[in-house]
């Protein structure tokens, strides 16, 4: 059994939690309850629970401090936060300490039940039968939605109702089909990725809960674009559909104790008479979702505002070339200036839609990525990550910032790698010179030892050290000779030969040129 401690300053909330859930059937045991933070901390130390469910604000030791201190006592402890306060900083701080999830008051049985089922699976215990059935159904939905996503991308007809039944176990029939995309938007979401993921999961649960009461058959999954769904209704009633999704949007926007400026957008594709046409409906929903970047509206419906698929953006080839060159030369300032100029040009375009902004983003990303690859190895998931982050943007300015910061980070990384690659052979060359300076050493010998041709190595050596090869070698030899001249038992001839000079007159002339005194005078001065 998994041990649980419940903590809330309101005893009625604790009683409600105990009554809402059949804890034992889920494999949990409530081993303690507390009405203040200090008592809860004592219970964590005493009972060693697997799970702590706590109010975010309590007397004595509040929920955030309780989680922090409880984690110190038991590092593997899992936590769920309950909040009746729509205060951004509290929930955000809770996320920093690794809470599993959060619940808003008033508590809903299905939300708490869902979290406990998911957590049971995460802890690696044998899941309840309900959980296995639930996961099986969710997996079928994910597979169907993945197939739809691929069909939409290729603009190919989707599965027939018969195929969906035989391959995935869905029961479709005669009626209305439509695709929908539910998009929660959060400013600066990339800064709170853990919280964003929790928000997406909450959105998925909200959509599932509401559409199962509306649709005769449905499939829902989380995708990078948002929570996507396909619904089948034998009797389509526009008012009921709008009421359902308006409720979903409002439920999403209630989560403002986690993100104070969260905004929900509902995008419906047009109604179709067959499942095969769902690729068209989903394409429409995606277009409307993109268009929220230009026009903020909570409800978008392709039936009343058909997408303008033909209105696209195509970058001038000369401008694309400039982006490529700036990225290839790893020139941050030039790339930034090109981006600013391009951004100022696209914003005033009429008409401007979200699809055009995506075109603009994709073409700059493609040009920059191609250019940077000419100078080194770009991070493996760079382009994929940028495209994922694009869907977290809420407006054109976010897209501009994503391009600027994302490409600049990559340029800086490539410059550091390139600098290290150029510095390493010079370090190796210096080490080789140190070992062989007494010999008749040539530039070709050193460049060959480090694996470069002589011309390139000479230029690289001058760039990294500020000296050409011969000046560096001469300086090293003369400095070594200074050390040797200070010894009693070595003649000037001995010293000259030991630092690589067989001609005593040449050595003496060179030594005086560099130090200002002859070797014999230097020996007298420092003997």
Q: What is the mean pLDDT of the chain?
A: 88
How confident is residue 130, by pLDDT bands cut at 50, 70 and 90?
very low
Cα–Cα distances (Å) from 216 to 148, 180, 280, in that order, read 19, 15, 21
CA distance 310 to 140: 34
Q: What is the pLDDT of residue 464?
A: 83
The region of weakest confidence among 63-72, 331-340, 347-356, 496-505 is 63-72
Could you tell me how many helices (H) and strands (E) the chain has, helices first? 22, 10
Q: What is the pLDDT of residue 96?
A: 59
Q: What is the pLDDT of residue 144?
A: 93
Q: What is the pLDDT of residue 123?
A: 65
CA distance 361 to 434: 52
Q: Are 482 and 498 spatial neighbours (Cβ–Cβ below 8 Å)? A: no
- Name which residue leads in pLDDT, 460 or 298: 298
Residues in Cβ contact with 475 at an 8 Å cutoff, skipping those fewer than 6 apart: 467, 514
Q: What is the pLDDT of residue 321?
A: 95
CA distance 390 to 366: 14
Give the model confidence (pLDDT) of 189-242 as tens digits. Answer: 666 666 778 788 889 989 999 999 999 999 999 999 999 999 999 999 999 999
Mean pLDDT of 37-41: 90
pTM: 0.66
Give the model confidence (pLDDT) of 269-307 as tens digits. Answer: 999 999 999 999 999 999 999 999 999 999 999 999 999
Q: Is residue 470 scored above 60 in pLDDT?
A: yes
Dihedral angle sign, alpha carbons of residues 264, 270, 272, 276: negative
Q: Are 456 and 480 spatial neighbours (Cβ–Cβ below 8 Å)? A: no
Mean pLDDT of 438-453: 89
Q: What is the pLDDT of residue 126?
A: 39
Q: Is residue 17 scored above 60 in pLDDT?
A: yes
Give the model confidence (pLDDT) of 164-179 as tens digits. Answer: 999 888 999 999 999 9
Q: Is residue 88 scored above 70 in pLDDT?
A: no
CA distance 245 to 209: 11
Mean pLDDT of 393-408: 95
The closest alpha carbon to 5, from 37, 25, 167, 20, belongs to: 37
Q: Is residue 127 scored above 50 in pLDDT?
A: no
CA distance 186 to 394: 7
Q: Are 460 and 425 spatial neighbours (Cβ–Cβ below 8 Å)? A: yes
CA distance 81 to 101: 6
Domains of the chain by range and CATH? 2-127 (3.40.50.2300), 130-301 (3.30.70.270), 324-416 (no CATH), 429-526 (1.10.10.60)
Strand partners, 55: 82
Q: Is residue 187 scored above 60 in pLDDT?
A: yes
Q: What is the pLDDT of residue 258?
A: 62
The percentage of residues in the chain with a pLDDT greater than 90, rounded to a whole number, is 54
How confident is residue 94, by pLDDT bands cut at 50, 70 and 90?
low
Q: Is residue 373 scored above 80 in pLDDT?
A: yes
How confident is residue 180, by pLDDT bands cut at 50, 70 and 90?
very high
Mean pLDDT of 420-446: 86
The closest alpha carbon to 460, from 432, 437, 428, 431, belongs to: 428
Residue with tokens 């060179």: 510
Q: Is residue 35 scored above 70 in pLDDT?
A: yes
How confident is residue 120, by pLDDT bands cut at 50, 70 and 90?
confident
How confident is residue 368, by pLDDT bands cut at 50, 70 and 90?
very high
Q: Are 297 and 267 spatial neighbours (Cβ–Cβ below 8 Å)? A: no
How confident is residue 68, by pLDDT bands cut at 50, 70 and 90?
confident
Give the model confidence (pLDDT) of 484-521 as tens digits. Answer: 988 778 889 999 999 999 899 999 999 999 999 999 88
How confident is residue 403, by pLDDT bands cut at 50, 70 and 90?
very high
The closest alpha carbon to 413, from 325, 327, 337, belongs to: 327
Cα–Cα distances (Å) from 474 to 19, 119, 208, 433, 495, in that order, read 87, 70, 78, 11, 14
Q: What is the pLDDT of residue 97?
A: 60
CA distance 226 to 405: 23
The region of weakest confidence among 136-145, 261-270, 352-361, 510-519 is 136-145
For 419, counting Cβ atoms within 10 Å of its Cβ (0-12 exposed, 13-18 middle, 19+ buried), the class is exposed
């Amino acid at each position: 059994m998994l041990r649980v401690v419940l903590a809330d300053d309101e005893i009625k909330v604790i009683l409600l939690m105990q009554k809402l859930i059949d804890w034992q059937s889920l494999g949990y045991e409530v081993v303690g309850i507390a009405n203040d933070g200090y008592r809860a901390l004592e219970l964590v130390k005493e009972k060693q629970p697997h799970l702590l469910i706590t109010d975010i604000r309590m007397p004595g030791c509040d929920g955030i401090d309780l989680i922090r201190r409880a984690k110190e006592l038991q590092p593997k402890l899992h936590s769920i936060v309950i909040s009746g306060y729509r205060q951004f900083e509290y929930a955000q701080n809770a996320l920093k300490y690794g809470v599993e999830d959060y619940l808003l008051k008033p508590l809903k049985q299905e939300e708490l039940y869902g979290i406990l089922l998911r957590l049971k699976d995460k802890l690696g215990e044998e899941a309840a039968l309900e959980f296995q059935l639930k996961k099986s159904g969710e997996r079928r939905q994910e597979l169907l939605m993945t197939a739809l996503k691929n069909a939409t991308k290729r603009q190919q007809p989707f599965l027939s109702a018969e195929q969906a039944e035989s391959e995935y176990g869905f029961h479709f029939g005669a009626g209305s089909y439509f695709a929908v995309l539910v998009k929660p938007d959060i400013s600066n979401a990339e800064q709170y990725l853990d919280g964003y993921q929790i928000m997406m999961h909450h959105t998925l649960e909200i959509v599932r809960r509401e559409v199962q009461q509306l649709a005769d058959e449905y499939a829902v999954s989380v995708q990078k674009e948002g929570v996507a769904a396909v619904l089948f209704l034998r009797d389509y009633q526009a008012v009921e559909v709008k009421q359902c999704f308006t409720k979903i949007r409002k439920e999403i926007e209630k989560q403002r104790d986690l993100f104070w400026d969260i905004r929900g957008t509902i995008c419906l594709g047009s109604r179709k008479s067959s499942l095969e046409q769902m690729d068209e409906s989903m394409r429409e929903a995606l277009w409307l979702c993109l268009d929220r970047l230009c026009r903020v509206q909570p409800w978008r419906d392709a039936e009343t505002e058909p997408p303008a698929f033909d209105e696209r953006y195509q970058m001038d080839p000369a401008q694309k070339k400039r982006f490529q060159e700036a990225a290839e030369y790893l020139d941050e300032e030039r790339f930034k200036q090109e981006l600013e100029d391009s951004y100022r040009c696209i914003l005033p375009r009429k008409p401007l839609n979200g699809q055009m902004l995506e075109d603009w983003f994709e073409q700059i990303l493609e040009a920059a990525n191609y250019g940077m690859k000419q100078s080194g190895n770009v991070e493996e998931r760079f382009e994929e990550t940028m495209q994922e982050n694009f869907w977290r943007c809420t407006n054109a300015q976010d897209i501009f910032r994503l391009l600027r910061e994302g490409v600049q980070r990559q340029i800086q990384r490539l410059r550091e790698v390139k600098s290290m690659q150029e510095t390493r052979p010079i370090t190796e060359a210096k080490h080789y010179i140190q070992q062989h300076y007494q010999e008749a050493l040539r530039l070709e010998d050193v460049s060959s030892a480090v694996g470069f041709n002589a011309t390139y190595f000479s230029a690289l050596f001058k760039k990294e050290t500020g000296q050409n090869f011969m000046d560096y070698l001469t300086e090293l030899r003369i400095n070594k000779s200074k050390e040797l001249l200070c010894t009693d038992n070595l003649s000037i001839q001995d010293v000259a030969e030991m630092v690589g000079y067989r001609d005593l007159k040449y050595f003496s002339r060179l030594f005086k040129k560099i130090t200002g005194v002859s070797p014999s005078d230097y020996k007298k001065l420092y003997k």
